[in-house]
């Protein structure tokens, strides 16, 4: 198969899986399968020096479709590339201090506190615009309502 055609096929397949997961709450492939296809696409993009505008390697999150209030992020909420190699991780961190944790599936939100009180919670959304979920976040077990 032509490499450019394979890239197109991967973009369509990964976008379909992303839409199903983020917008329809359906998993049409495992995380392992998604990651393998994503890595294949990333490799083809690097090899060919081409990245399609709709590629999941340059787009994050999901398109905001619900009726919740929307808010533009002060700074884009981007996504970091994954790595499975310790050497690449060490190279990325360099001589900086770092906290490293496992990647867990879940909701990415920006929490804003004023005078130590939870003031606002906004989802990542598409990376530029998210949904305001402050009332929901107040009942999440792992979101502190107060900070020092």
Q: Note if 16 is an active site residue.
A: no
The single residue of 70, 103, 120, 141 carrying the catalytic annotation is: 103
Using CA atoms, how far apart are residues 132 and 109, in angstroms rounded to an integer? Answer: 9
Residue holding tokens 């906290």?
Answer: 99
Using CA atoms, how far apart are residues 118 and 47, in angstroms rounded to an integer? Answer: 46
Catalytic residue positions, numbered: 103
């Amino acid at each position: 198969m032509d490499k450019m055609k394979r890239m197109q096929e991967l973009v369509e397949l990964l976008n379909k899986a992303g839409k199903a997961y983020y917008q329809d709450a359906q998993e049409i492939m495992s995380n392992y399968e998604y990651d393998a296809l994503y890595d294949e696409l990333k490799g083809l993009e690097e090899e060919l020096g081409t990245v399609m505008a709709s590629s999941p390697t340059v787009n994050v999150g999901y398109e905001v479709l619900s009726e919740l209030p929307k808010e533009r992020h002060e700074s884009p909420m981007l996504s970091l590339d994954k790595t499975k190699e310790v050497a690449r991780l060490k190279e990325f961190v360099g001589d900086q201090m770092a906290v490293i944790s496992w990647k867990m599936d879940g909701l990415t939100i920006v929490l804003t506190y004023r005078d130590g009180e939870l003031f606002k919670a906004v989802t990542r959304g598409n990376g530029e615009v998210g949904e305001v979920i402050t009332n929901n976040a107040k009942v999440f077990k792992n979101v502190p309502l107060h900070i020092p």
